Chain A
Amino acid sequence: MEHILEVVDLSFSYQGKPILKDVGFTVDKGDFLGIIGPNGSGKSTLVKLMLKLLTPAKGEIRIFGTDIQRFDEWYRVGYVSQKANSFNGDFPATVNEIVGANLMARTGIFGRKPKDYQEKVYHALKKVGMQEYGNQLIGRLSGGQQQRVFIARVLVSDPEIMFLDEPTVGIDVKSEEALYCLLARLNEELGITIVMVTHDIGAITVHANKLVCLGEDGLVVHDVHEPMTEEKLSKLYGYGVHLHGHNCLGCEHRKETEGRSC
């Protein structure tokens, strides 16, 4: 299996305080990787290091077989940040304008708009079920809808791997379930590799095929074929954790109406 991402002995400190120490794991093509761990364990830092938004103190990251410091094909990588939820809600931009902006990842800063610009934007929105909202102002949408638009913004440049940093923060439970189903569908049907930071252990253990747990004892790569127990989680988080199953109502609904699961 082709390694899309390799993290080797990665360490990072912030203002002298070690955040990550000797972290190492691999992500293969088609993986749905969940990154979990308590607050302050370095989950978002790890994602930012993998996106070259931060520089590691030690260690190596290889993406598509190339050292991240020399990697320049960033259009193959998509990122939905935590901040996508806390943007300026009164920003006067339409959904079409926001999704279309990311086509610059393909055309370059001075490149002309592609001839099929409108179709590309429409298809990206269709993949997340938001094609009817193209002309709406982004601030008029609900949190769940906005997050779908931000996923469409990433999809418009046809990425092979997508990083998501707590995309379900600030959205209701129903939208959250629908979002997990959407991600699972993008992973299964379009073959997009997904790396996702989340606190929602119940849902991520249902959808991910690999888990990276950042905890007090450093990093643990967990095989999802083994059940994630409350005991293991409590040890990881350093306090008692109760695990509630995730019924993925949206998926069940899809299964009933369309004859397939997400």
Chain B
Amino acid sequence: MLEIFRYGFMNNAFIVGILIAVIIPCIGVVVVLKRLSATGDALSHASLAGVAAGLAFGVNPIFSAVIFTVMAALGIERIRKSIPKYGEISTAVIMSVGVGLAAIFSGFAKSANFNSFLFGSIVAITPFELYLVIGLSIVVLTLFIFLFRALFYMTFDEESAKLAGIPVTLVGGVFTILTAVTISISARVVGALVVSSMMVLPVAVSMQMAKSYKQTVLYSVLFSVFFVVAGLFLSYYLDLKPGGTIVMTGVVTLIVTLCVKALNGNGRRKKGEA
């Protein structure tokens, strides 16, 4: 047995990390394809404000993070409807509110606690958090599988989906809550600043090679699991922070994929010219 697996805390880190790695890109595929990548970032900052508020007022920080993130997601939708032609303003506004509130509330919280939510504490998972992540993963995956076709249709063409009888407002609302809950709970594990990267990076890599929507989802999940496992190994053997190694594994994979794609494209073009 590898040395890394002799420690209980590392085994827990792998279990929780892989579960989170499976559910985040399921949400991420829809977020990226709806061109709302920045929304994940804004929501993770809102969750940070929730964590800070929870720590400041003695409320469970995961619970307060969920409340803040749901409110932020609804806020983004509301502002987007008010300024439809400059919808991205809504993301920037909510991001600012998140950062502002996080800064204010963190002044009343212990900095060590707050920092663990910034970059996560995947190797210091409590049994409660372990069960929370397992429960959440089952809920998110079940709902994602049930809503798979509806979410696909809505993401591609919301108007036609509505005409086909899909209750787009209800499904959209459920998806918003799923996103908020996933971000809040994942923030505890991998860190608020890492969640939005994990939402976007595996999907970005997958889109470079997928030949269908189903493949895009499948490859995103596989890449995400690879980033977490490779990141945890690197973190253990190089003694680096796991949040950082997970994200950087993703970034390097994306750069390599883009380079390979560009080289292949050039090769094909040259063949065509010849």
Q: Is B207 an interface residue (CB 8 A)?
A: yes
B164: chain A residues within 8 A (beta carbon): 74-75, 101-102, 104-105, 157
Given the known interface contacts A53-B159, A53-B162, A74-B165, the answer about A101 and B212 at a Cβ–Cβ threshold of 8 Å is no
A95-147: which have CB < 8 Å to B? 97-98, 101-102, 104-105, 108-110, 135, 137
A97 lies within 8 A of B214 (CB): yes
Given contacts A92-B207, A92-B212, A137-B211, contact A109 B165 (CB under 8 A): yes
The answer to whether A97 and B213 touch (CB under 8 A), given A53-B159, A88-B33, A109-B150, is yes
* Residues of B with C-beta under 8 A to A104: 149-150, 153, 161, 164-166
Q: Which residues of A contact B215 (CB under 8 A)?
A: 92
Residue interface bits A35-79, CB-to-B below 8 A is 1, else 0: 000000000000000010100000000000000000000110101
B146 A110 Cβ-Cβ under 8 A: yes
- A81–B161 Cα gap in the complex (Å)? 12
Interface assignment of A239: CB less than 8 Å from any CB of chain B: no
> In whole angstroms, how far apart are the Cα atoms of A98 and B156 in the complex?
8
CB-contact partner of A101 in B35, B146, B153, under 8 A: B153
Nearest-neighbour CB distance to chain B for A166, whole angstroms, equals: 14
Give the residue of B160, B167, B213 whose beta carbon is less than 8 angstroms from that of A93: B213
Q: Closest approach, in angstroms, between the C-beta of B38 and any C-beta of chain A?
A: 16
Within 8 A of A (CB), among B174-219: 207, 210-216
A207 interface residue (CB < 8 Å to B): no
Binary A-proximity of B203-241 (CB < 8 A = 1, otherwise 0) = 000010011111110000000000000000000000000
Are A109 and B159 touching (Cβ within 8 A)? no
Contact across chains for B165 and A93 when beta carbons are under 8 A apart: no
If A102-B164, A109-B167, A109-B171 touch, whether A87 touches B212 (CB-CB below 8 Å) is no
The number of residues on chain A lying at the interface, defined by a beta carbon within 8 Å of a beta carbon of chain B, is 29
Complex contact A75–B213 (CB within 8 A): no
Query: Is the Cβ of B157 less than 8 Å from the Cβ of A75?
Result: no
Which residue of the partner chain B has the closest CB to A113? B149
In the complex, the answer to whether A79 meets B160 with C-beta atoms within 8 Å is yes
Known: A101-B152, A105-B164, A110-B146. A84 touches B157 (CB 8 A): yes
B1 at the interface (CB under 8 A from A): no
Complex alpha-carbon distance, A222 and B200, angstroms? 53
Is residue A153 contacting chain B, with contact meaning CB distance below 8 A? yes
Separation of A137 and B212 alpha carbons in the complex (Å): 7
A94 at the interface (CB under 8 A from B): yes
What is the CA–CA distance of A110 and B147 in the complex, to the nearest angstrom? 8
- A108 vs B164: C-alpha distance in the bound complex, in angstroms? 8
B163 at the interface (CB under 8 A from A): yes
Give the Cβ gap from B83 to chain A, nearest Cβ, in Å.
Answer: 15
| Min distance, Cβ B126 to any Cβ of chain A, angstroms | 36
Q: Count chain A CB atoms within 10 A of each CB in B152, B160, B211 and give the residue with the most.
A: B160
Contacts of B161 in A (CB 8 A): 101, 104
- The yes or no answer to A225 lying at the interface (CB within 8 A) is no
A 170-214 to B, binary, CB cutoff 8 A, 1 in contact else 0: 000000000000000000000000000000000000000000000
| Interface 0/1 of A154-168, CB less than 8 Å to B | 000100000000000
CA distance A97 to B152 in the complex (A): 9
Quick one: closest A residue to B35, CB to CB? A88
Q: Min CB distance, A93 to chain B, in Å?
A: 4
Closest approach, in angstroms, between the C-beta of B265 and any C-beta of chain A?
14
Task: Across the interface, name the chain B residue whose C-beta is closest to A96.
Answer: B212
Q: Name the CB-closest residue of A to B207.
A: A92
A97 to B212, CA, bound (A): 8
Question: Contacts A53-B159, A79-B160; is A94 near B171 (CB within 8 Å)?
Answer: no
Q: Does A260 contact B (CB under 8 A)?
A: no
Query: Chain B contacts of A109 at CB under 8 A?
Result: 147, 149-150, 165-167, 171
Instruction: Determine the distance from Cα of A81 to Cα of B162 in the docked complex, in whole angstroms.
Output: 13
Can you report 27 A-B residue pairs in the complex whose CB atoms are below 8 A from each other?
A53-B162, A75-B165, A79-B160, A81-B160, A84-B157, A87-B157, A88-B33, A91-B33, A92-B212, A92-B215, A92-B216, A93-B152, A93-B156, A94-B211, A94-B212, A94-B213, A97-B212, A97-B214, A101-B153, A102-B153, A104-B149, A104-B165, A109-B150, A109-B167, A135-B212, A137-B211, A137-B212
Can you add 4 more A-B contacts, CB < 8 Å, to A81-B157, A93-B213? A92-B211, A92-B212, A109-B149, A135-B211
Which B residues lie at the A interface, using CB under 8 A? 33, 35, 146-147, 149-150, 152-153, 156-157, 159-167, 171, 207, 210-216
Q: Which 3 A-B pairs have the closest CB atoms?
A: A105-B164, A101-B153, A93-B213
